Chain A
Amino acid sequence: MTSEKHPLLEKFTEQIQHCTRCGFCQAHCPVFGATGRPALNARGKMLLLKEVLAGKIDLNQELVDSLFQCTTCASCATNCPSGVDVPAIIKAARKEMVGLGTCHPAFTGMNQVLDDYDNIYAEDEPEDFDRERGGKAEVVYFIGCVGQYREEDATEAALDLLDHLEVDYTLIDEVCCSGVLEDVGFSIKPALAEKNIERILATGAKTLVTGCPYCYRTFNGKEIYAPLREAGLEILHFSQFLARQDLGVSTDLKVTYHDPCDLGRHCGIYEEPRKTIKALAPNFVEMPSNHANALCCGAGGGVRGAYAKNSLAMARKRLAEVEEVGAEILLTECNSCVHNLANAKLRAQKFQVMTTAQFIMELLED
């Protein structure tokens, strides 16, 4: 079946064939959960690709709304009885499509923005948080675009917390890690990666802590960022860093935790955030879908930018679980999740959505 017409995709031919069309992914796919449309489900995407490989349909613009509408949450892969790695296949399909000149305009736009700007929002003025950038310290804290330009309060709280814990840290003049481009058919920008690597290493830090799970995955896993690992840097997500600290505050509030896909399913980091939260809030409850079965907030894989309506519909499904367990506070460790969940929250839903750092700072201030 390898016609060599779509080499990137054809690498996954066996996997795509392994999809037995059982449809069990319909129970887990958040896009299907929010829309009820089988074309958007993992199986629907595999069916399209099976037909492409068989030469029945072309890999063209008509397939964009399915193949580019996936948060890459990996719920399907986690539960697939045949072990099909749908997110990896979708990423390959997207790269193939971009190579053929087909893409969703939001991502073509994002790729262009990262050629012209150093962040995904095309902003010029990063919030400076009144902190030094580019100094020398034991720890370098990497904020990430969402924390820098959209969730400044959450970042402020994280930095305040680092100050409170008397951590020797510095910020840098960071640029977008650009890891997201790999997911949407493009590639990390070498120019941006070089800047980040140079500026991180210049701090002399032993530990790199990221505020964003996606940056964490990018720095930890992508080949282009190997120099960071080769330099012996310990790369941590903020939740892993916090789990090592003794925070000394607590509350009676009923708290629950949303596992971000990029931290949970993709990195297996489930317990560190919980360790910190349970120490703060003994009255902790799990939502029905948690750990590897956590419901995606709907923001990932570029869906928030490209398919905002469905993205918010997914977030609302997640928020319904917060209500179900009667939690007063919903904590999470990803600024993107916070952003989408907070946006989607109805006025009538009285619980608050925030990062663990924000919550800790609130408790410390009380």
Chain B
Amino acid sequence: MDQRDKDAIREIVGQEHFSDELIDLVSYSYDSSDHDHRPDCAAYPADSEQISRIMQLANERGFAVVPRGAGTSLAGSAVPINGGVVLDMVRMNRILDIRIPDRQVVVQPGVVYADLQKALAPLGFCFPPDPASGKVCTLGGNVATNAGGIRGAKYGVTRDYVLALEVVLPDGRIMHTGTKCMKSASGLDLTRMFVGSEGVLGVITEITLKINPMPTASRTALASFETLRQAGQAVTDIMHSGILPSVLEIMEENTIRVLRENYGADLPDVAALLLVETDGYTDAEAEYGMQKVVAAFDANQAKTVSQAKDRAEAEKLWAIRRAAGSVAGGLRPNNLSEDVTVPISKVPDLLEGIQKLMEGHKYPFVIFGHAGDGNLHPKIMFDGSDPEQVKEVHQIAEQMFKLTCGLGGTLTGEHGIGLAKAPYMRLEHEEMAMEMMRLLKRTLDPNNVLNPGKMALDD
């Protein structure tokens, strides 16, 4: 990118919405992953027209364009690995329409997830997927990564709620996909193509989401198990019980130890904990679900079961789960955080497999995650300033991915591929599938200007 290109972008968005100052370039080099690369400049577009003109320019002049929400990707999806211009979507942050009778909301991509929930709550509605970064992440990012969350066990992921999109294609044409209807069987599903596409197929500029009435009642319980097998069987029994818990989290023994030793949590010395929430539109519904869950706990010799009597007690149980990641992260300067996912019935196998991988290594590690949809979060702590450790930890990661795929799993349940997992795509996807992904990318973006270098699509 040269000065002419920068001037042309500045011309499109306006002086005060353009930057090539060092402090901005540094920020935009990073997201929440371990990857970084300097962009050439940053622009803050106001609307799809401006983005369209930038894309056209990018094709003419051959520079990269990288859309960015809050920059909280854990996979490097927002890192401008080929330089170019970062499109910070922050100005496109309005909630355009809330249509309760249609059960829909229309938002611009820069709307912060928590702000959407804040707007819906007084109306008794919510957008069910709940990514952990909800306080800061944006809906555009949620759609681009098909964000999940703790309540995925019952409520699914972002993809399940996207009805329609406005997208700026890599060549600058503006396209509308989907429908204002609750459902449609009309034509090829273009909406689904863009959800989870991590900004490589188009820049999302408007999103229509399905919303749900907010459940008003819930029950929370924490159970401990002497063996992983017992915990795993309890999860299976819950799956058979005829109800869907809204949350079904697992924490294994290393996590429990870290929480006891570094967070002062009053937890028994056991192999696994299950934190479960049931919810409903009536108290009776939530209570019924929890009774089924507790029955599964008892049938599997749970060592302890604590049922929260009220919201305050539930919060205490939740605080333990929420602390797991950050307390562990504090043990070393760096950490490798993954979100390997397997069929629910394979969760105990994956847990044991990872524990076995870590035997003989000196790195502290924890594994916790959403047993309710098979999505585990192993976290390995190390010192990133030591190249030996970096190498070793990445070797462990590769073994973890092989283990996961061997169990019929996927490299990532919710974080996305980005840069971090691109080298491992072939462990999961057959050559035909990789070729199909590249064909789609090449067709939509023949000059490879939009978020290039991601998801192994460039090889």
A residues with a Cβ closer than 8 A to B are 1, 14, 17-18, 20-24, 26-27, 36-41, 43-44, 47-48, 51, 57, 62-63, 65-66, 81-83
Contacts and interface: CB of A to CB of B under 8 A. Distances in A.
Contacts of B30: 21, 47
Interface string B123-144: 0000000000101100000000
Contacts of A81: 325-326, 329
Interface of A: prevailing SS: helix
Contact of A47 (B27, B329, B330, B384): B27
Contacts of A43: 27
A24 B131 CA distance: 12
20 contacts: A1-B385, A17-B333, A17-B384, A23-B32, A23-B70, A23-B72, A23-B136, A36-B88, A38-B71, A39-B23, A44-B26, A47-B29, A48-B26, A57-B22, A57-B26, A65-B23, A66-B23, A82-B330, A83-B326, A83-B330
A14 B21 CA distance: 27
Contact of B114 (A17, A27, A47): A27
Interface in B240-278: none
A63 B326 contact: no
Interface in B374-389: 384-385
Contacts of A14: 333
Interface in B30-64: 30-33, 44
Of the candidates A38, A40, A51, A65, the one having the most CB atoms from chain B within 10 angstroms of its own CB is A38
A14 B44 CA distance: 34
B24 interface: yes
A39 B24 contact: yes
A329 to B, nearest CB: 25
Contacts of B112: 27
A83 B44 CA distance: 31
A66 B25 CA distance: 12
A47 B26 contact: yes
Given A21-B31, A39-B26, 6 more contacts: A18-B329, A21-B32, A22-B133, A27-B135, A48-B23, A81-B325
Nearest to A28: B135
B335 interface: yes
B98 interface: no
B361 to A, nearest CB: 21
B442 interface: no
A82 B27 contact: no
A62 B25 CA distance: 11
B28 interface: yes
A28 B22 CA distance: 24
Contacts of A48: 23, 26
B116 interface: no
A57 B28 CA distance: 15
Nearest to B38: A56
B103 interface: no
Contacts of A66: 23
A60 to B, nearest CB: 9
A38 B31 CA distance: 11
A3 B33 CA distance: 26
Nearest to B325: A81
Interface residues of B, number: 33
B90 interface: yes
Contact of A39 (B27, B72, B135, B384): B27
A36 B91 contact: yes
Nearest to B29: A47
Contacts of B70: 23, 26
A54 to B, nearest CB: 9
B26 A24 contact: no
Interface in B5-35: 21-24, 26-33
A345 B88 CA distance: 30
Contacts of B72: 22-23
Nearest to B383: A17
A292 B329 CA distance: 24
B329 A27 contact: no
Contacts of A37: 24
A27 B30 CA distance: 18
Contacts of B384: 17
A227 B244 CA distance: 65
B333 A63 contact: no
Contacts of A63: 22-23
A12 B27 CA distance: 20
B329 A20 contact: yes
Nearest to A79: B135
B321 to A, nearest CB: 13
A20 B72 CA distance: 11
A66 B133 CA distance: 24
B343 to A, nearest CB: 29
Contacts of A38: 24, 27-28, 71, 88
Contact of B21 (A1, A51, A62): A62
Contacts of A18: 329-330, 333
Contacts of B22: 57, 62-63
A66 B21 CA distance: 11
Contacts of B334: 17
B90 A36 contact: yes
B32 A22 contact: yes
A341 B115 CA distance: 24
B261 to A, nearest CB: 16
Contacts of A21: 30-33
B329 A82 contact: yes
Contact of A82 (B24, B28, B326): B326
A243 B264 CA distance: 35
B133 A24 contact: yes
A24 B71 contact: no
A24 B135 contact: yes
A37 B28 CA distance: 10
Nearest to B68: A38
Contacts of A51: 26
